[in-house]
């Protein structure tokens, strides 16, 4: 693989991110702040959700924000350059959010054993559960070993896939 090409594109993306720092910051902070306000303040104050839900929700919001900020900042410009449609992004991101254990702990799916196992193919599950275990350990969460294993596995798989696709598309 031609590392010069890879680092040139990486430098270009970093330059664009620095140039658009304020809009990028607003884009990445606005959604989590709205989620926390609506679900953590409005819904709990009005009595629709118990007050403890704020603590349960926070790790999922952090996970969503981190994962999708990375996807939007890095992957989506590349997807656009290689001529995929935004329909793919929209259809993929919705199930990843709702089946990523962001609004509920993984153990909440106990009554749905097939779904509980199926969501384990979603990397957002491991990010959400990891943050939940670190930030609010009093709520149920996956063990740290399972979370670490899932994050390492998905990182290696996506890194390998991304580098292979990059090499195939950009260097040929």
Segment 12-57, tens digit of pLDDT: 878 877 888 887 777 777 777 877 787 778 778 878 788 888 888 8
CA distance 85 to 42: 36
Name the residue with higher pLDDT: 134 or 92.
Answer: 134
CA distance 9 to 116: 39
What's the whole-number average pLDDT of the chain?
A: 82
Cα–chain-centroid distance for residue 79? 17
| Closest to 140 measured CA to CA, from 76, 52, 25 | 52
Inter-CA distances, 105 with 18, 40, 98, 156, 166, Å: 36, 16, 12, 25, 35
Largest CA distance in the chain: 58
Rounded to two decimals, the pTM is 0.68
- How sure is the predictor about 157, in pLDDT bands with cuts at 50, 70 and 90? very high
DSSP state of 136: -
Q: Are 135 and 160 within 8 A, CB to CB?
A: no
Split into its structural domains, the chain has a count of: 1
Q: Which domain holds residue 37?
A: 3-170
pLDDT (tens digit, 9 = 90+) per residue, 120-154? 999 999 999 999 999 999 988 999 999 999 999 99
């Amino acid at each position: 693989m031609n590392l010069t090409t890879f680092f040139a594109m990486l430098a270009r993306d970093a330059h664009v991110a620095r140039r658009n720092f304020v809009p990028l910051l607003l884009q990445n902070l606005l959604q989590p702040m709205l989620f926390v306000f609506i679900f953590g303040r409005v819904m709990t104050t009005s009595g629709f959700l118990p007050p403890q839900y704020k603590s349960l929700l926070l790790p999922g919001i952090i996970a969503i924000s981190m994962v999708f900020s990375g996807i939007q900042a890095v992957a989506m410009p590349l997807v656009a350059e290689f001529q995929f449609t935004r329909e793919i992004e929209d259809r993929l991101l919705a199930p990843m959010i709702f089946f990523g254990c962001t609004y509920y702990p993984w153990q909440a799916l106990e009554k749905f054993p097939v779904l509980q196992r199926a969501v384990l193919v979603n990397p957002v599950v491991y990010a959400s559960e990891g943050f939940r275990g670190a930030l609010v350990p009093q709520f149920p969460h996956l063990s740290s070993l399972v979370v670490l294993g899932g994050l390492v596995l998905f990182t290696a798989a996506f890194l390998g896939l991304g580098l292979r696709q990059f090499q195939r598309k950009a260097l040929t």
